[in-house]
Amino acid sequence: MKPLSHVVIGSLLILAWPSAHAADGQKIFNQGGQNPAAMACLGCHGPDGKGIAAAGFPRLAGLPAGYLSKQLHDFRNGSRKQAVMEPLAKALDDAEIEAVSAYLAKLPADAAADTRRQQIANDPVARLAIYGDWNRLIPGCVQCHGPGGSGVGEHFPPLAGQPAGYLVAQLNAWRDGSRSNDPNQLMVNVAKAMTDAEVKAVADYFAQPASQEVKP
C-alpha cells in the first residue's frame, strides 16, 4: 500500500500538470490526451474531422473553437449528455480542450450550399428550413444557422455537412431533455415544436447539400 503522501503528491502533480505542459491540439486529435481515457478524436470523427456519416458521428472540422470548447465543457458538467463523450471530455483538462478546439476549428471543411432566402419555397421541408413555421414559433433554421446552414459566429454551429443521424439525434436530445446547453434556451422550444417527420426531413435537408434549393 502506498503511503498517503505519495498519493497526495501524485494528485498534486496531476493537478499542476495542465499549466506545466503546452497542450498540442493536433496530437490530441490524432493520438488522444494525456489521460488515456481521452481517446483520439479521429477514431470516431474521421481522419479529416468531417465525421462518419454512416455512424452518425458528427463533423468537427471547421466548427467554431468557442462552440467546440463549450460542448466539451458541457459534456463534463452534464448539460449535454452523451455516453461516449462524457467520460472522454472529463479526461481532458482545460488546456487540452482549448488546444483541440482551436485545432479542429482550423481544419478545412466543405462549404455550405449558397442558398439564399429569396425564392418562395413550395417544398414544405425547404420552407421550414428557410422560413420556419411561425404559427408554432419556429424560425427558419438558416435565420440563426446561416445561409445553407453554414453556421454563424460561436453560438450557432454549422448544420451543413453534419450527418443526418447526428442532427436527428441532437433535435431529439433537446426534445427529451438530454441536451439542455443551448444559450438562452433558443433551441429547445424549436426542437419541441417540430414533429418526428420534420426532424428527419430537416436533418436530411442539411446533410445533403444537393437536395437544397438551387440558387436562382
Partner 1 sequence: MKVLMPTLLLVAMGTAQAAPIAMEDQSQLKVPGVQAAPQFVPPAESAIPDNAFGKMVREGHALFVDTRRLMPDAVGNGLNCSNCHLDQGRLAHSAPLWGAYPMYPAYRKKNDKVNTFAERIQGCFTFSMNGKPPAADSPQMTALSVYAYWLSTQAPTGVEIAGRGYPEVPKPEGGYDFKRGKQVYEEQCAICHGGNGEGQKVAGEYVMPPLWGKDSYNWGAGMHRINTAASYIKYNMPLGKPRSLSDQQAWDVAAWINRHERPQDPRLVEGSIEKTRLKFHANDGVNLYGQKVDGVLIGQGIGG
- Using rule CB under 8 A, residue 192 touches partner 1: no
- Using rule CB under 8 A, residue 175 touches partner 1: no
Selected range binding partner 1 among 6-14, 102-110, 161-169, 178-186, rule: CB under 8 A: 178-186
- C-alpha to C-alpha distance for 171 and 212, rounded to whole angstroms: 20
Selected range binding partner 1 among 15-23, 76-84, 99-107, 112-120, rule: CB under 8 A: 112-120
Is 1 annotated as ligand-binding?
A: no
The 126-145 contact track toward partner 1, x by CB under 8 A, reads -x---xx-x--xxx---xx-
Is 73 annotated as ligand-binding?
A: no
Q: Which residues pair with 52 in a beta bridge?
A: 57
- C-alpha to C-alpha distance for 196 and 206, rounded to whole angstroms: 16
Enter the C-alpha cell of residue 78.
452534464
List phi, psi (to 5°) of 145: -90, 5
What burial letters (b/e) apply to 96-128, b meaning 16+ CB within 10 Å? Answer: bbbbbbbbbbebebeebbebeeeeebeeebbeb
- Using rule CB under 8 A, residue 155 touches partner 1: yes
Q: Are 203 and 210 in contact (CB under 8 A)?
A: no
SS3 assignment, position 157:
coil
- Using rule CB under 8 A, residue 110 touches partner 1: no
For residue 133, the surrounding DSSP H or E stretch is strand 132-133
Among 47, 119, 177, 215, binds partner 1 (CB under 8 A): 119
- Using rule CB under 8 A, residue 214 touches partner 1: no
Is 6 annotated as ligand-binding?
A: no
- Using rule CB under 8 A, residue 183 touches partner 1: yes
Is 21 annotated as ligand-binding?
A: no
Residues within the interface to partner 1 (CB under 8 A): 116-122, 127, 131-132, 134, 137-139, 143-144, 146-147, 150-153, 155, 183-186, 189-190, 216
Q: Which residues are annotated as a binding site for heme c?
A: 41, 44-45, 85, 141, 144-145, 187
